Chains A and B, each alone.
Chain A
Amino acid sequence: MLKKKNTLKLSIVSSLILSSIPAFALEKPKTMEDMWKIIEAQQKQIEALQNTKSLPEDVPVKTTATNEVKTLERKTDVLSQEVEKLRTNLAIPEEAKYKSMYGLGPAASKVYQVGKGLSIGGYGEGSYQANVADKGNAQNNADLERMVLYIGYKFTDKILLNTEIEYEHASTGEGTELKGEAEVEFASLDFFIDPIANVRTGLMLMPMGLVNRIHEPLFYFGNHRPEVEQRIIPSTWREMGAGLFGAITPNLTYTAYVTNGLNGVKSTSAGGTAGFSSDGIVEGRGGGSFSAAENFGYTARMDYDPSFVPGLTVGASGYVGKSGQNQQYLGQKINAFTQLYETHVQWKYRGLEFRALGSWGFIGDAALLSAANGQTIGSQNYGYYTELGYDILPLVLPNTTHYLAPFVRYEKLDTIAKAPNGFADDLTKDWQIFQVGLQYKPISNVVIKADYRNYVQKQGTHPDDFNLGFGFIF
């Protein structure tokens, strides 16, 4: 078709209009917008010339017109090329020699850096929760669970800052209101060295499980994160430290961090650390707020994407470290050597999404910790879940870009899988959860969610709930 060329060739005509050809293309416009305005104006002139082609033949005028149209055509081509150059220069350099200079001085990266130093994004999620059975004292509620701002800054092509600043439950509260939190979820500097080994330091998301690292609401089923990935593997779990990450082969990636360790001991001072509890290790997180660093924690993770099964990822991670933080109870030093391991598999194939994850934890000195914290802390804990969803919309509307996936999830967890000697198990911490729901995405950045969770405890009851909510990322 080559419509543009045809359009221009057809425009061999006469006319008085030609006397008014502007000279604005002589000076190079400063921005893409300026240039685009000029191109549009030129296109209009060419169209105007076309419309006058029925005028009587007049050879001298026609010749002038042909020349002028050629001039216009040339100017349009030059400007189009300039626009393309500006557009692509925002993302990649024109020549390799400029690429190699990035990071060494501002001059070479001047054009490239336009608008790319600071970046802002974010996500949010909120839901209505109705307790539909075994309600007890639980209240139905509507909650803006998270509103998060991502702020990134690219200092150079090799040094990048990523931060996530989060408001939970919409407020830090006033008076006796329920209080949310404002917190830095992560703030880490990435140093890009080589695909095999890059360095990250700062307040970092711990690379364990599926949800902790990628926890935007678009990427997990249901209004609430799986309980296993909140109580057995804490989320959002972040600590101060440094580490390496990279790809050993294109299919095999790894992450390894050294961070401050967990703090398992309940503080006696007001506002101090809650430490480990019968609900698990979640309150032992440091979170970058004067985190105890007498003991360090060591975390490693590997993921493998086999080429022979497209869309499949299998992986595992582990955390080890003392959680005593050089503290004592009744004159006895608490080591509380803590281990947490998990393995996961994830498969996306066409509209199918499948996940399974299992996690096991071991806590040393559990009896001493239980005595210090005044509750039973399991010397072992575990949890696993599996879920399956399928985007059914293309089956009904083949050309749709919308997404509608029903899903099911089953979870089993026990934060006191083994009680230490001298302490009783708490069977209300042994849960099974059966969940079904629907996930609808009108575009890939927005999700509407509905789900129902049925909780079964080994002892006592837990409210079953229906949740209706939304999430977005930008």
Chain B
Amino acid sequence: MTQINTLLFLLLFSLSSLSYAQIFYSKSEALELAFGKVQLENLSLFPEEADMVKIQQLAKTKLESGLFTFYVGKDGGKILGYAAIESENVRTKPETVMIVLTPEGELRNVYLLAFHEPPEYMPPERWFESLLKHPLTDLDFSKGVDGISGATLSTHSALNSVRKVMAVYQVMVKK
């Protein structure tokens, strides 16, 4: 009887307190998190074939589309930074991150916006923090990035997204 009570308690507990754990930020919330309440501009980029080759070499991952969009945060005429939202499938479901670069292209923040795999596979926040300020060449599991036991595929997906965004910046935006 005690065992049945325990099960009933667990089920009732689950049904009485459901909330939202998988989507952490909407797009507008995320962009506000990145730049505050400032003017935002879309910067649409159309890399040519040669650019795509360069980007893929630098990113070590495939660029899926010939259109890439940065959100540019601006305060007056001054650029505060560049943000991009990227989604990659981890196992069967996507992980969505927002990557924020400084005006000079340095990695400033990586925010996990949504994670649709079971939460056990989710990389911890400190792992995203450990990526910051590393140059693109160091963003590799054999160099400056530590692996996470139990989150191998999700960290690979996130790292691919970060590398892709930094590579696009270097080839298409950097002056």
Question: Which residues of A pack against B, CB within 8 Å?
Answer: 1-4, 7, 36, 39-40, 43, 76-77, 80-81, 83-84, 87-96, 98-100, 102-103, 116, 119-121, 150, 152, 154, 157-160, 162, 190-195, 197-199, 201, 213-214, 218-219, 241-247, 250-251, 253, 255, 258, 296, 303, 305, 307, 310-311, 313, 346-351, 353, 391, 393-394, 399, 401, 444, 473
The answer to whether residues A91 and B20 also contact, given A152-B92, A199-B14, A243-B10 and a CB cut-off of 8 A, is no
Q: With A88-B27, A191-B18 as given contacts, are A116 and B116 in contact (CB-CB < 8 Å)? A: yes
Of A194, A258, A347, A350, the contact of B21 (CB 8 Å cutoff): A194
Q: Write 28 A-B pairs (CB below 8 A) sorted by A numbering.
A: A1-B171, A1-B175, A3-B51, A36-B67, A84-B69, A88-B27, A88-B96, A90-B94, A92-B25, A93-B27, A157-B20, A157-B21, A191-B14, A191-B18, A192-B21, A192-B22, A201-B11, A201-B14, A218-B153, A242-B10, A250-B125, A313-B150, A349-B146, A350-B142, A353-B147, A394-B142, A401-B60, A444-B152
Q: Which residues of A contact B26 (CB under 8 A)?
A: 92-96, 98-99
B20-39 Cβ-contact flags toward A at 8 Å (1 or 0): 11110111111000000000
Determine the chain B residues whose CB is within 8 A of the CB of A219 once the complex forms: 152
User: For B10, B45, B48, which residue has the most chain A Cβ atoms within 10 angstroms?
Assistant: B10
Known contacts: A92-B26, A192-B22, A250-B126. The answer to whether A258 contacts B143 by CB under 8 A is no
- How far does the alpha carbon of A154 sit from the alpha carbon of B47 in the complex, in Å? 35
CA distance A160 to B14 in the complex (A): 13
Determine the chain B residues whose CB is within 8 A of the CB of A76 once the complex forms: 44
Q: Which residues of A contact B140 (CB under 8 A)?
A: 394
Partner of A253, one of B15, B28, B120, B146: B120
Task: Return chain A residues, CB-CB under 8 Å to B7.
Answer: 241-242, 258
B156 interfacial contact with A, CB 8 Å: yes
Closest Cβ–Cβ distance, residue B21 to chain A (whole Å): 4
4 new A-B pairs (CB below 8 Å) besides A195-B21, A247-B119? A93-B26, A94-B28, A102-B23, A391-B142
Chain B residue, CB-CB nearest to A245: B120
Cross-chain contact B146 with A91 (CB below 8 angstroms):
no
Cα separation A98 to B96 with both chains bound (whole Å): 17
Query: Cβ of B134 < 8 Å from any Cβ of A?
Result: no
Tell whether, in the assembled complex, residue B44 and residue A80 are in contact, meaning their CB atoms are under 8 Å apart: yes
Chain B 97-150 interface residues, beta-carbon cutoff 8 Å to A: 113-114, 116, 118-120, 124-126, 130, 140-143, 146-150
* Bound-complex Cα distance A307 to B129 (A): 11
Give the docked Cα–Cα distance between A160 and B66 (Å): 34
Write out the residue numbers on chain B whose beta carbons fall within 8 Å of the beta carbon of A218.
Answer: 152-153
A244-B10, A311-B148 are known contacts. Are A92 and B113 too (CB-CB below 8 A)?
A: yes
Asked, given contacts A80-B42, A99-B20, A116-B93, whether A192 binds B146 with beta carbons under 8 Å apart, the answer is no
A190 touches B87 (CB 8 A): no
- Please determine whether A90 and B87 come into contact, CB atoms closer than 8 angstroms: yes
Q: How far is the CB of B61 from chain A (nearest CB, A)?
A: 8
Q: Which of B69, B150, B156 has the most C-beta atoms of chain A within 10 angstroms of its own C-beta?
A: B150
> A171 CB to closest chain B CB, in angstroms?
25
Given known A3-B172, A95-B26, A245-B120, contact A193–B18 (CB-CB < 8 A): yes
By beta carbon, the residue of chain B nearest A444 is: B156
Which of B13, B113, B124 contacts A250 (CB under 8 A)? Answer: B124
Q: Are A350 and B3 in contact (CB under 8 A)?
A: no
Q: In the assembled complex, how far is the CB of residue B74 from the closest CB belonging to chain A, in whole angstroms?
A: 14
**A71 shortest CB reach to chain B, Å:** 16
Q: Give A363 to B143 CA distance when docked, in angstroms.
A: 47
Distance (whole angstroms) from the CB of B120 to the closest CB of chain A: 7
Min CB–CB distance A379 → chain B (angstroms) = 26
Complex formed: what's the CA distance from A43 to B30 in Å?
30
Contact B45 A258 (CB under 8 A): no
- Residues on the B chain within 8 Å of A473, using CB: 91, 153
| Contact present for A92 and B119 (CB under 8 Å) | no
Q: Is the CB of A162 within 8 A of B44?
A: no
Q: Which residues of A contact B120 (CB under 8 A)?
A: 213, 245, 253, 255
- Give Cα A116–Cα B89 distance, bound, in whole angstroms: 11
B20 A158 Cβ-Cβ under 8 A: yes
CB neighbours (8 Å) of A36 from chain B are 65, 67
Shortest C-beta distance, B79 to chain A (Å), equals 11
How far is the CB of B109 from the nearest CB of chain A, in Å? Answer: 16
Q: For the complex, what is the distance from the CA of A245 to the CA of B21, rounded to whole Å?
A: 13
| In the complex, residue of chain B having the shortest beta-carbon distance to the beta carbon of A312 | B149
Residues of A within 8 A of B44 (CB): 4, 76-77, 80-81, 84
Name the A residues within 8 Å of B48 (CB-CB).
3
**B18 and A158 contact, CB distance less than 8 A:** yes
Top-9 shortest CB links A-B? A348-B147, A121-B92, A394-B142, A199-B14, A80-B44, A192-B21, A91-B96, A119-B92, A310-B146
A241 to chain B: which residues have CB within 8 Å? Answer: 7
Contacts of A348 in B (CB 8 A): 146-149
A288 to chain B, nearest CB (A): 16
Q: Is A92 a contact of B156 with CB atoms below 8 Å? A: no
Which residue of B19, B42, B143, B173 is within 8 Å of A158 (Cβ)?
Answer: B19
* Among candidates B18, B27, B93, B149, residue contacting A192 with C-beta atoms closer than 8 Å: B18
**How long is the Cα–Cα vector from A105 to B153 in the complex, in angstroms?**
32
Cβ-neighbour of B141 out of A83, A192, A351 (below 8 A): A351
With contacts A80-B69, A116-B116, A444-B153 taken as known, whether A1 is within 8 angstroms of B146 at the C-beta atoms is no
For A310, the closest partner residue in chain B by CB is: B146
